[in-house]
Structure formats: C-alpha cells, structure tokens
Amino acid sequence: MSAVKTRLTKDEEKELKHLLRCSHLTLLYKGSVHGFTTGEFHAKCDNQGPTVTVVYNESGFIFGGFTSQSYVSIQKYLSDEEAFLFRLTEKEGVINSKIFVCQIAANAVYVCSNSGPNFGNYFLITLNGNSVSVAMNDNKNYIGLRYHLCLILMYFYFHRERKKIMDEVRSYEPYLNSVSQIRILFVGPVGAGKSSFFNSVNSVFRGYVTNQAITGSDDTSYRLYPVKDGRDGKALPVIFCDTMGLEEKLGCGLEINEITNIIKGHIPDRYQFNPAVSICQDSPGYIKNPALKDQIHCVVFVVDGCKIEILSDTLEQKLKLVRKKVNQLGVPQLICLTKVDELCPLLEDNLAYVYRSKTMRVASAKFGIPLSQIVPVKNYCSELELTCNIDILILSALRQMIRLADSYLDNFTYEEPKKTTL
C-alpha cells in the first residue's frame, strides 16, 4: 500500500516546519483517506506526542493548530504552554504564516473520545463522517484570533452559498412551458464588461477560467450565448444576449432604435449591426413573428463601477433613453456594476464589503433604480483560477436576473404555467 501523502506544497511544508522548529513531519491521519470520524482520528493520533493539525478549505486557506501534548481519548483539558494556532497564506508566490498564541495554558487543548481537534474549546474542528467543519466559541483563549477566524468562517460560508446558488440555477425551470430558457440582454458602454460577465458565469459552471465571448470594442454582432453546466453538461435555463457597446459618438456603437427590435426578438443570432441602417422587415434574417421564447425577458445595464460618477453626459443620456424604451415594453431591468474590486483598497482584499459602497447608492440615484435591482460584480479578467468570493458575486447577480425574468413571465397567463420557483 502506498504511503499517504500530504496536500501541502514543499514551500507550505517548509514554512510549517519553520513554525514548529522541527526538521521532519510524519502524516498520521488524513480525513479524505482514513475517514472523517473521531474514532479514526483518535486511533491514528492518540499517544503520538506533539501533533499539528492542518485544515484546508476551497477558498485557499490553510490553517490549524499545534499542541506539544499527546492526544488521548479521556475527557479533560491538556495544559500546554507551547500550543498555538496558525494560518498560512500565499502572496506573490511567497508563503507567509501567522500564529495565535494561547493565553490560558491550562485550557490550551480539550480532548474527548467523541471530539476532533479542539483548541481551548474555542477553535473546534468537527469530523462529520464524510466532511470536516470548523466552529468558534466566543472567548479569548487565543490572542488575536477572532478577526482572522471570522474571515476563515466567512469563506466557509461563501463556499456553501456558492453551491446553494449553483444548485438553484441548475434546478430552475421557466414559468411557462413555451419558454425553456430565459433570455437576458446586456446593454452598456464599450469596455464595461458585458461579454466578460458571460465569460465569468461560464467559468464558474465550467470549473475553470474560460473566455468564449469576444471582449472589447471590435465586435459589432448580436450574439446568443447559452451556458453549459460543465464542459459536457446540459444547458442551463438561461441564454445571454450580447450586443455591441454604446458609444458617445453618433453613428458609432449600438443605436438606441435597435433596442426595440432586439427585445421583441426580431434580430437573429450573429446579426451584424450597421449603425447607418437599422434592421427592418425586409432585412436578411429578420424574424417577423418571434415567439415569447425568442424575446428578451430581462435587460441588464452593465456599467463600470469606477466610472459611474464620471459618465459623460452623452452616455448617461443614451442609457436613460434605453431605460425609457425598456420601461415602455414592460421588461424588468437590472444594473450590473462591474470592476467593484477597484472602487477602494478595502475591496481589493475583501469583496464582502462591496454592498456598503457608496457607488451602489450613486448608481441608484443616477438611474432611478432601487438598490435591490443593482448588483455588484467582479468579472474574471486577469485571474487564472476561480475564487469563491468572486463566484458569489457573479452567481448572486445571475440569480437576481433569473428572478426578475421569472416575474416577467408571470404577465403571460394564456399558457399552462409550471410550478417552479427560484
């Protein structure tokens, strides 16, 4: 039988050895191999001397605790002046560590036959049979830990929330039998992130960063982008409709008079816009009698969050005219603020604070849309790997779009509806 191997990289293991002031580590127990049970944990780890527990989560955190005492299956506290908790992080390819020392040595570690690693009855690692979870009690046994542990637990929450929203999207079915996939139209200035949002949603469901839609100002076509649940998975119940961007100059970019044709479903996939001539009934490819499934069910205005306060008068006026047309057609609207990580230094490290940003209120006042219909997003542009907190913003925005479109379909009562909700 081959030896059980650690998930730590060489650099992470080197940093951990530096923390522990030791030259060699032996892997006694690995939950994914031996099973996430307290019985297996104690069978492998009891009476083994100084022990370090390492926990990973899918957001990239590596953390855990060290005790110089042996684990036992007798219910008691272990006194340990050398016990500490730790966190490993990577920045620009360099592994860094931070430790949190024990303030009350007499209560450093709590042991029990039906308990996993438990540091001071404060930082508890629970073995659930097929997974591991982390909990925190409200005391100050380990100095300085609370803020950092809150961040770790927040990312655990993000991971659960990410899975929850993905499952909701997968299981959603449009309200009416005649509509198998809802259509969401993206409108906004060139470079705001319309195509990047589709690429980001596609990346989340593919499981890796991908770029299918063409980004930038060169594309002048109208494109329909379905999303698959995985590379070979089934199509999700949503189609993104991407247009060329709005531009300041007259005769450039998407013209406002094309919006009605798009929303009513007259424009075919891959249609090339001509700013000088609008599509009409005699144009090649014009769809004369579009069904409800061919029409737009939600319009999303995509705006660069960093430029919301400095939009030119021309672009702002164009966006308001488009909004007016959409209102006349009764289609629900949403504002998607992109590049929110660039709004302030705080958001670069923690996107969870984005909902407190004044930019959200500025967008609401500028366009006359309630805050509940404004969603902040950071698209995948320069990243090579997925990140859970970015995924959460993308998925939350997608869910809100689907909900608005679903409400719009309530207006069509001449068909037998399906009984599904999101």
Q: Which domains are delineated in the chain? A: 10-164 (no CATH), 174-409 (3.40.50.300)
At 344 the pLDDT is 64
CA distances from 200 to 18, 93, 194, 378 (A): 39, 24, 10, 9
The answer to whether residue 335 scores a pLDDT higher than 90 is yes
305 vs 293, which has greater pLDDT? 293
pLDDT tens per residue, range 52-80: 999 886 656 788 889 999 999 999 999 99
**Average confidence (pLDDT) over 311-340:** 89
Residue 13 has pLDDT above 70, yes or no: yes
- State pTM to two decimals: 0.65
Q: Which residue has the higher pLDDT, 379 or 348?
A: 379
d(CA 199, CA 241): 12
- What are the CA-CA distances from residue 280 to residues 52, 202, 257, 371 (Å)? 71, 33, 11, 37
Which helix (H) or strand (E) covers residue 187, if one does? strand 182-187
According to the model, what pLDDT value does residue 148 have? Answer: 47
Residue 349 tokens read as 């490290």
**pLDDT for 152:** 47
Q: pLDDT band at 284, cuts 50/70/90?
A: confident
Confidence of residue 140 (pLDDT cuts 50, 70, 90): low
Q: Is residue 182 over pLDDT 90?
A: yes
Kindly report the number of other CB atoms within 10 A of residue 358's CB atom. Answer: 10
Q: Is the pLDDT confidence value at 408 over 80?
A: yes
